[in-house]
Amino acid sequence: MNSAPATLERAQRRLAAAGGRHIGDLISWNTDRIDVTREAARRVFATEGLGHLIPDMEPATALSRAAAEVKRPAGILVRPFARPKGDTSAAVGIYVQKTREGEAGDEYVCGARCRVDRHTGTIVGLPPDGAPSIAEALAHAEAMAAHGNHLVAHAETRDISFAMVATAKVLSGVPLRDRGGFYLLPPSTCGAWLRLRPGLEQLGVKPIRIEMHDAPDNVAVARAAAQGALEADVAELIADLDKAASEGMRQNALARRVELCKELTAKAELYRGVLAGVADRITARVKELQHSFQLQLDGGDGVSFTIPVVND
């Protein structure tokens, strides 16, 4: 742990020793270069019921990502075929730029292709259909195929980082920065982060956890983070109402928003210890929104807006 978090942690320990009340944990993480099997990563997150955060990757998705991630040599372009054959879920062409004198335009020749093989489900690099390959294009196609097939079975830093952010959200964490990076967990979910820590370290993640106690400045920071996150969610729901009033909303979308209101109410309760009277105000507003969505879902009257319900 670098010096700033370590200093903060020591200060929080002193507060705890002095009888300070635990108001949550400040969490973050660092990652080295991670490359582990998806199954190994899924086992770690599954210990807290979060295995779905490491999903399987379809070969077509892996091919698209490989096209973006494998460095292209100069003069090589990768483009999806406009009308690929119907026996694959994805296919792209690898083109070699042939320069011409003047400004008539350069020529781009397809020198290889990369596609998902229907029979094996793997990604393969091949010569163009019915034409000879160009060595540098075929080499790039094969490099893309190798990386894509690796992605199907392995989770890399990007995948684990996505799962970490999703984990903080599932644990009702609220960001302390507008762009994330540090999250405050309510006391009720701090144990899950602690239990995940050993497995995360095995994957190459370096979790950071600092217990927060109720010094006035700490409470102010925690209140601002929790209030800001909850009010942003409420504002998004209100925007949904404005949009839905004119455009309509499907029944399943209405139902999702009813459930979201329930989740926000529960989240406000988790942070009641730092929100004080703000929790009651936010909870009352969310319940009003929930009631309005539910009335529309049930086809009832008596609401201040009318959403045209679109049948699914």
- Give residue-wise pLDDT tens across range 88-105: 999 999 999 998 888 888
**Does residue 65 share a domain with residue 52?**
no
Give the residue from 154, 174, 200 where a domain finishes: 154
Asked whether residue 50 falls in the same domain as residue 164, the answer is: yes
Instruction: Tell me, yes or no, whether 176 and 27 share the same domain.
Output: yes
Q: What's the domain range around 290?
A: 219-310
Q: Indicate whether 18 and 160 sit together in one domain.
A: yes
Q: 109, 126, 154: which is the final residue of a domain?
A: 154
Q: Which of 193, 134, 170, 131 is nearest to 53 (CA)?
A: 170
Average pLDDT, the chain: 84
Judge whether residue 9 has pLDDT over 60: no
Residue 254 confidence (pLDDT) above 90: no
DSSP letter at 20? P
Tally of domains in the chain: 3
At a CB cut-off of 8 Å and minimum separation 6, what does 206 contact? 29, 30, 31, 32
More confident residue, 181 or 128: 128
| 197: CB partners within 8 A, 6+ apart | 207, 209
Predicted local confidence at residue 144, as pLDDT: 98
User: Which of residues 122, 154, 186 is at a domain's end?
Assistant: 154
Statement to judge: residues 174 and 248 lie in one domain: no
pLDDT range class, residue 18, cuts 50, 70, 90: very low
More confident residue, 269 or 193: 193
Q: Are residues 304 and 291 in the same domain?
A: yes
| Of 113-117, 129-133, 261-265, minimum mean pLDDT range | 261-265
pLDDT at residue 230 is higher than 50: yes
Q: Please, which pLDDT band fits residue 309 given cuts at 50, 70 and 90?
A: very low
Residues 136-150, mean pLDDT to the nearest whole number: 97
Tell me which amino acid residue 208 is. Answer: I
Quick one: pLDDT at residue 48?
97
Q: Are 254 and 196 part of one and the same domain? A: no
CA distance 111 to 115: 14
Share of the chain above pLDDT 70, in %: 86
The whole-number pLDDT of residue 242 equals 73
Residue 63 shares a structural domain with residue 113: yes
The mean pLDDT value for 218-230 works out to 77
* 251 and 109 together in one domain: no
Residues 172 and 186 placed together within one structural domain of the fold = yes
Q: What is the mean pLDDT of residues 78-92?
A: 93
180-194 average pLDDT score: 87
Query: Looking at residue 175, what is its pLDDT?
Result: 83
Name the pTM for this structure: 0.71
Give the pLDDT confidence score for residue 302 in this predicted structure: 42
Pick the more confident residue, 183 or 278: 183
**pLDDT above 80 (res 11):** no
Q: Are 43 and 155 in contact (CB under 8 A)?
A: no
In a shared domain, residues 148 and 167: no
Instruction: Kindly state the average pLDDT of the residues 298-305.
Output: 52
**What is the pLDDT, as a whole number, of residue 87?**
92
| CA gap 118, 111 in Å, rounded | 22
Q: Is the dihedral of CA 216, 219, 221, 227 positive or negative?
A: negative
Residues 236-255, mean pLDDT to the nearest whole number: 78
Give the pLDDT confidence of 148-167 residue by residue, as tens digits: 999 999 999 999 999 999 99
**Antiparallel, parallel or unpaired: β 107-116 and 174-175:** unpaired
pLDDT band at 42 (very low <50, low <70, confident <90, very high): very high
From 175-179, 194-198, 263-267, 275-279, the region with the lowest mean pLDDT: 175-179
Together in a domain, 225 and 203: no
Binned at pLDDT 50, 70 and 90, residue 19 comes out as low
